[in-house]
Amino acid sequence: MAQDDPKTLVSTSWLAEHLKDPDLRILDGTWFMPSEGRDGRSEFEAGHIPNARFFDIDEISDLRSDLPHMVPPVEKFMSRMRALGVGDGHQVVVYDAHGLFSAARVWWLFRLMGQENVAVLDGGLPKWAAEGHSVESQPPVIRDRHMTVKQQHQMVRDVTQVSSASKLGDHEILDARAPGRFAGTEAEPRVGLRSGHIPGAKNVFFKTLLNGDGTMKDPDALRAVFDASGVDLAKPVITSCGSGVTASVINLALERIGKTDHALYDGSWTEWGAFPTLPIATSGDN
């Protein structure tokens, strides 16, 4: 079992012990790939951890962008958190219905907004329910609280910055997608995208950072995964994936091993793969 850290990852046992803390706020950050045919909000309404609120990754985003669930404007994030009753002085715990998947994106977004007291529930709703902890369907009572936001711009990268990092080789670009998509041998789930990866990137499939029960591996095992992928942890890291969701699992893993100089490429392959002028690599290419 991973060591509990309210700034990164907490166990189901930790959450059960703190469930009635007055300043605890629990968020269901479940997000499903369109191909899964499931709806996170509907499943939340059918059953969730007591007092949880639903964090809609697609709606709490920059809807002006053609790209999916891009980082929202600060003002929108603040207003949505007020509506959810999440604000200054709260300890936030985020979970999802997969185990550990989209909750990491919500964790990263909070960190980007300067919020440090936020953790992912290790193993998520599946582990919580499997252990016999209570699940409810009634909505929580929400009281407004202001949130002070100071965006940490160093935690996010755009396509120009990633292109520069790819050319200069001064960052490790880590791609969380499955090996077939990274190699370009498996078609992208989004129509119209080229197959392959950013030149110079290394593949760290997000599932290799997890145990079979959806919990995150311990720090020593995480370091072994990065080492096996040829990652030079002395360099700053930029993470990427399909649309900026599973990349955040790598960011969380890096934070767990004490590496703090990491950022996420928000547009990820949905942006890079759509631009015919941007170079791509396939198979064993660098």
Active-site hit among 193, 241, 263, 280:
241
241 a catalytic residue: yes
| Residue in 37, 201, 14, 205 with CA at minimum distance from that of residue 120 | 14
- Scanning the chain, the segments in alpha helix (DSSP H) are 12-18, 40-46, 74-84, 103-112, 124-130, 159-168, 179-183, 219-228, 247-256, 268-272
What is the arrangement of strands in the sheet containing 91-95, beginning at the earlier edge strand? 9-10, 118-121, 91-95, 24-28, 53-54
Q: 176 with 247: CB under 8 angstroms?
A: yes
- Neighbouring-strand partners of residue 66: none
Specify the pairing of strand 91-95 against strand 24-28.
parallel
Helix (H, G, I), strand (E, B) or coil at 259: coil
Query: Which residues are marked as active site?
Result: 241
